[in-house]
Amino acid sequence: MKRRICYLLCVFCLGVLLNSCGMLGGPAEFDEGLLVGTWVVDGHESDHWRFDAGGKGASWDTADDVTESEAQAFTWSLVGNTLTITHRIGMTGADAIPKAYKMMSLTEVSMSYKDESTKKVTYMTKIR
What is the share, in percent, of the chain residues with pLDDT greater than 90?
A: 66
Q: In this predicted structure, what is the pLDDT of residue 84?
A: 96
- pLDDT surpassing 50 at residue 18: no
97: confidence class by pLDDT, cuts 50, 70, 90 = confident
- pLDDT surpassing 70 at residue 11: no
Rounded to two decimals, what is the model's pTM?
A: 0.75
How many angstroms separate the Cα of 14 from the Cα of each of 4, 28, 50, 76, 96? 15, 21, 44, 36, 42
Which among 69, 74, 79, 114 has a CA at the least distance from the CA of 96?
74
